[in-house]
Amino acid sequence: MNARNRIIVFFFGTLWLLLAGQCFADVILPDVDQKFVSVQEINPSRDAGFVVGDKLQRTMILTVKKPYELIKESLPIVGYEHRYRGQVSGIELSAISVKEDQQSQQAVYTIQLEYQVFKTGRVTKPAILRGEIVKIRQAGNTQVRQFRMPSFNFRISPLSVYGEVNLKNELSPYIPPLQLRADKEWMLLKGAAALLGLCLLALLYILGARAWLPYMGGAFAKAYRQVNRLPEDPQGLQQAITAVHQALHQVAGHSVFANGISRFTSEQPAFAPASSEIERFFALSHQVYFDPNTPLTLDLPNKQGLKRFCRHMRDCERGLRPEVRA
């Protein structure tokens, strides 16, 4: 074989190899049965507003049921860039990590993909993260099948607008809506929450009957608790009246009698709204302690009445205005 023929043979041989390789690369594998493979995708939280240099993370959770298994070598490698009609897409895979969880009936592959945008334009353009094709095979079987993961559409925005741009023409529905500033509403919400908290605290304070609340150590707060604990019998009533008397003395700083109510309310104006109730209390005290024969027409005949009186006095003690009937 002369040199010319050798060159021709080499040329055709090389051409055959290239064509054979090309044919092998473009071979379309059969899809795997959907019942063996499922995927769950976690995409970026937004699909617009990406500019050159931005990175998009997506996570594909691939569940492959046995007897199939993922061919890990079929996963894309860092630096891989999709092409469309021979043109690079400008979106490059910048990182990939795979976590495998082998279970008895299936294997779960958590594939973290990170793409970086390397293209820009004068106006917002649609772009796509194409679904990666991974290969699946049965264990101990040479037949390979493929599975295409779902793609993700998004929009790439220009870094800056330059030159004359007709916004009306270039207006894209993909541009994310401008976010309103909600600072004022947030402040309002926080204020309302604080007010609600204070109101709840005040309600607890008004209704509370425990010593751990602030200013709960007042004379009438103690008397209220004491009256609450006493039995509902004549002896308990006497003790309750004594407890209220002691509270009155403690608040006044001196003994208080029926003829000193006006002095008491003038010295302690906070108790003035309850002056009629104080008078009724003294009438009850007189009947119980000093003059049992005197008929009494009061609405404070029992411990419940005394408890209500104590609660009103406790409200006065705390600077509140009790609901006192005249």
Q: By the criterion CB under 8 A, which residues form the site for other proteins?
A: 238, 241-242, 245-246, 249, 254-255, 257-259, 285-286, 289-294
Closest CA to 129 of 161, 156, 102: 156
**Considering the complex, what minimum distance in angstroms separates the CB of residue 291 from other proteins?**
4
Q: Is 181 left (phi over 0), alpha (psi -120 to 50) or beta?
A: beta
Token pair of 295 as six digits: 């008929």
**Considering the complex, what minimum distance in angstroms separates the CB of residue 255 from other proteins?**
5
Residue number, 109 or 264, with CB nearest to other proteins: 264
**Considering the complex, what minimum distance in angstroms separates the CB of residue 254 from other proteins?**
4
**Considering the complex, what minimum distance in angstroms separates the CB of residue 326 from other proteins?**
23
Residue number, 225 or 286, with CB nearest to other proteins: 286
Helix, coil or strand: residue 138: strand
Closest CA to 314 of 200, 213, 224, 187: 224
User: Which residues of 103-219 form beta strands (DSSP E)?
Assistant: 106-117, 125-129, 133-138, 144-148, 152-156
Contact 55, 91 (CB under 8 A): no
Residue number, 245 or 308, with CB nearest to other proteins: 245
CA separation for the pair 264, 261 (Å, rounded): 5
Residue number, 154 or 264, with CB nearest to other proteins: 264
Residue number, 192 or 258, with CB nearest to other proteins: 258
**Considering the complex, what minimum distance in angstroms separates the CB of residue 285 from other proteins?**
7
